[in-house]
Each structure stands twice: as structure tokens, then as C-alpha cells.
Amino acid sequence: MKGLDITTPSASLVVQRQPFGLEVIVAGVWTMDAVLPSRSQVLKAIHASQSSTLLRFDMSAVQRWDSALVTEIIAITQAAQHQGLSVDSSSLLPTIQNLLNLVSALPEKHHPPKPPHRITWLEEWESGFTHILQEAFATVEFIGQLCLSSLDVIQKRSHFRRLDWWLQVQDCGPSAFPIVTVISLLVGLILAFVGAVQLSLFGAQMYIANLVSLGMTREMGCLMTAIIMSGRTGAAYAAQLGTMRVNDEIDALRTMNLEPLAFLVLPRMLALILIMPLLCLYADLMGIFGGALVSLTVFDISTAEYLDRTIHAVQMKDFLIGFVKSSVFGVLIAFSGCMRGMQCGRSASAVGDAATSAVVTSIVFIVIADSIMTLICNRFGI
């Protein structure tokens, strides 16, 4: 061939009609970083020839090659065999021939079953309803399992590890102080500001103290702590348990006769149930302090006056309501975190999904529970 100059190293692929049949001349550098020629001419020639024509390769001018050439040969051979041509495999380079033999050596040549296909967002919407049902079932199932394993622990059939519980308490309690301090102080400040501007319309700035203290103790203190803790601890629980699921650690616990719920979930739940009311109390105080700051600096209300008002406004029952609420929130946060973690899939991205949905679930639960409890308190005049 004229165009096939040996001095030009770039890859070339030429087909020629010969007395014996087709000859495919491969030459040049056939590597993945080289510019590769199109094989359409060769395929056209193959399609144009009758079956049982002989197809030979001439590879004498191939210089360097790698998988780029091997796949080319595979594609041409397959097309030729499909057309019924007979391929003279002895005309291939012996090393390539060996690689081709390896390709067809292993039994998994038959087509594997189609994998479950990826779900598009459209289908996700379609199956949204069944999804919600499944979620509800899974939640109920998880509650049931949790009750059973708590029973087991109470009846001393499975072991509850106090040390784990204590480690969890340390993990979720003290380290949350800084963020709770900042957030609740600022919430107190905001409440005082917004309230004072409105109250001063009636010349009733004095009532800032009532507003802030009641708002913090009954609602904002426990709500803000709950939201902080669901982002901090709830997500962490989901990620920890999810990673353990990915690494087969949870299955390993089962095989060792350790109930994962009693071993992993209960300590985390109890830790949060203990810590939440304490954090909430602390948040209440910080919020009231924030309100005092605003009234002192901006609205000229003396600290003594503010404190006096606060003591009159807030009763023990207000603190207790906050306490009860935050315990409930603690349960909900730990519950959603652990549930999402235990339901986690087996890939790295599933762990991320579990953490995300733990936060979303717990915030939804928290807001629903808070409305219910507020309604109840209102109804009974507490």
C-alpha cells in the first residue's frame, strides 16, 4: 500500500481484497494515547463480502500496541464472525492471540442477568406512595424491635453495657455546650429585640422579661437544643451505625449473639434522653441571660428589675414542660438517628443518605411532637 509508509508511526488500518479473501493491514503505533483510525472501511468491506470468505490480518508493521489494538481486533473479528466470515487467527500476533484466548477462557461468557436498573426521579415519584407506606411499616417495626430488646435488657436476657452508655453521654453532652451556648444566647437576644420593639408601642417594655423567660422555658429552649442535637448527634448516630452496617460489623455482632439494638442503639438513646433535659435547662438560662443583656443595654431596664419580673413570670411548671418536651425530643432524635443508621444501605453514599434523612426525620418528628404537646398544654391550661 502506498499510504502505508513505515516511517510514519501513527496507527493505520487498511482493508484489501485479495485472491484468498479479505486482508486487514494493521500498522503503526496502536496505543491508547495515539490517534486511532476509524474502522468503518473495514466493517463496510466485511459486510460486502459473502460468508465463508477468509479474513486475514497483516500485522507485520505494528510497532507498539496495547489494549487499543486488542479491542480493535476483537471488534473486527466479531463483526466478521457475525457475517459468517472465517477468521484466520494464526495471522494475528501470537501474544494478541494469547490474550484473545484468555478473553474467551472463563465460563462467565453467557450474558449475566440484567442488574436491577437505576431508578429515575420520575419512577421515584410514582412509587412515592408505596415508599411512604414502607417507611411507616419500617418505623413501626423498628419501634417493635426496640421494645423487645429493651424488655430483654430489663429481664437481663441481653447485656447492657454501662461503659458504652457513659461514653455516649460524654460524647453528646459536654461537647455540645459551646454551640448550645451561642445559639440560645442569640435566640434570647432576638426574642428580646423583636418583643421589645412591639411592646414599646404600648410603653410596656417591662414585659420583655416575661416574654423572653416564658418563650425560652416553654418553647425555644427545648426546640433549639433539639434542632442543634439532631444536626450534631442524630446525624452522627446515623453515620456511625451506617458505617458499621457497610463494614458488616452489625452482622458480625449478630453472629456473636449480641443484639445490635441492645448493644448499639439503647446506650445511645438513653444517653440522649439523659442529656437533653440538662442541655435544655442550660439553654433556658442562657436565653434569659441574652434577654437581660438586651434589656439592660438597649432598653435601659435594670438587671434587678429584669430578674424580678422573670421570677414572677416563670413558674416551676414552665421549666417542667421544657424538661418533658426535651426528653421527648431526645427520644425522637436518638430514635431517628439510630433507625436511619440501622436501615442504611451498603455503600458509602448510603451512609451520607442515612445521615441526611436522620436529620430530616428527626426535625419533622420534633416539630410534630412539639405542636401536639403545645396543643395538649393549651387544652388543659397548663
Partner 1 sequence: MPQSVISVEDLTMAYGSVLIQKDLNFSVNQGDIFVIMGGSGCGKSTLLRHMIGLSSPLKGDVRFGGQSLVMADSLQRQQLMKKFGVLFQTGGLLSSLTLGENISLPLTESTQLSAGKIREIVAYKLALVGLAGFEDYYPLQLSGGMQKRAGLARAMALDPEILFFDEPSAGLDPVTSKHLDDLILRLRESLETTIVIVTHELSSIFAIGNNGIFLDAETKTLIAQGSPQQMLATSQEAKVLNFLYRGNLPSAEGHKNE
Q: CB of 171: closest distance to partner 1 in angstroms? A: 24
Q: Cβ of 140: how many Cβ atoms within 10 Å?
A: 10
The residue whose grid cell reads 431526645 is 330
Which among 136, 127, 152 is positioned nearest to 265, based on CA atoms?
152
Q: Are 142 and 339 in contact (CB under 8 A)?
A: yes
Distances (CA, A) of 125 to 28, 71, 121, 130, 381: 54, 41, 6, 10, 43
For 180, the grid coordinates are 448550645
Task: Name the residue nearer to partner 1 (CB basis): 89 or 145.
Answer: 89
Q: In the bound complex, what is the minimum distance in angstroms from residue 352's beta carbon to partner 1?
A: 9
Report, in Å, the least distance between residue 73 CB and partner 1: 10
Q: How far is the CB of 20 from partner 1 (least distance, A)?
A: 27
| Residues 248, 317 contacting (CB under 8 angstroms) | no
Closer by beta carbon to partner 1, 73 or else 363: 73
> Cβ distance 333 to 197 under 8 Å?
no
Interface residue list for partner 1 (CB under 8 A): 31-33, 36, 66-68, 70-72, 74-75, 95-96, 98-99, 102-109, 111-112, 114-117, 346-349
Contact 222, 165 (CB under 8 A): no
Helix, strand, or coil (residue 64):
strand
Of 128 and 345, CB closest to partner 1:
345
Residue number with CB closer to partner 1 (36 or 199)? 36
Residue among 139 and 243 whose Cβ is closer to partner 1: 243
**Grid cell listed for 276:** 437533653
Residue 115 CB, nearest approach to partner 1 (Å): 5
The residue among 16 and 247 lying less far from partner 1, judged by its C-beta, is: 247
Query: C-beta of 92: minimal distance to partner 1 in Å?
Result: 11
